[in-house]
Amino acid sequence: MENRIDSSDALTARKYFSNIWSAIRTTAKGMAITIGYVIKEKEVTVQYPEEREILPSNTRARLYNDVENCTACSQCANICPVNCIYIASKRMPKDAPAKKADNGMPIRMELTQYTIDTALCCYCGLCTTVCPTECITHTKNFEYSKYQLNDMKYDFLSTEMRSLRTAVLAEREE
């Protein structure tokens, strides 16, 4: 059987130079688009961690409960869709001095445990919306990863978490 080349596929001198021109033209077109982005478009990335973006005020990052203002009402735990808030409390002794939250709400229960397992938290923010004293809020801090999942449980009655209070309250004022 005879192998014939279709005359339309044959590489003529005209086709040869046309291919070279097409390669130059399309490469130049692509480079023009790239250079346009380099010159005109503003940067969309930052050199983290040396540079940090200013996060919006409604950022939903790490949760913080200011336990001094917590009434132990459990509304946050009840609404949490993943059940990651663990609360325990007991009645205040009868002779204990009356205690009120900053918004005037009486605190009748003594909080004995307030833990959030942030490895389970989906950062929906529902707990912050139902809190009657607004003591639980999201902060802008997103840099608290750990190597072990168990270390993501935070006890807000601990000295470590209480030591963050001043900084968190200052951030709330911003």
Q: How far is the CB of 172 from ligand SF4 (least distance, A)?
A: 14
Binding mask 127-146 for ligand SF4 (x = CB under 6 A): x--xxxx-xx----------
Q: If you write DSSP's letter for every residue of 59-90 in order, what string do you get? A: ---SEEE-GGG-----HHHHH-TT--EEEEEE
Instruction: Map tokens 């070279």 to a residue.
Output: 20
Among 64, 121, 137, 154, binds ligand SF4 (CB under 6 A): 121
- Rounded to whole angstroms, the Cα distance separating 111 from 89 reads 4
Q: According to CB under 6 A, which residues from 58 to 117 bind ligand SF4?
A: 63, 65, 70-76, 79-82, 84-85, 87, 116
| Using rule CB under 6 A, residue 126 touches ligand SF4 | yes
- Rounded to whole angstroms, the Cα distance separating 141 from 63 reads 9
Instruction: Tell me how many residues contact ligand SF4 (CB under 6 A).
Output: 30
- Rounded to whole angstroms, the Cα distance separating 128 from 135 reads 8
- Which residues make up the interface to ligand SF4 (CB under 6 A)? 63, 65, 70-76, 79-82, 84-85, 87, 116, 121-127, 130-133, 135-136
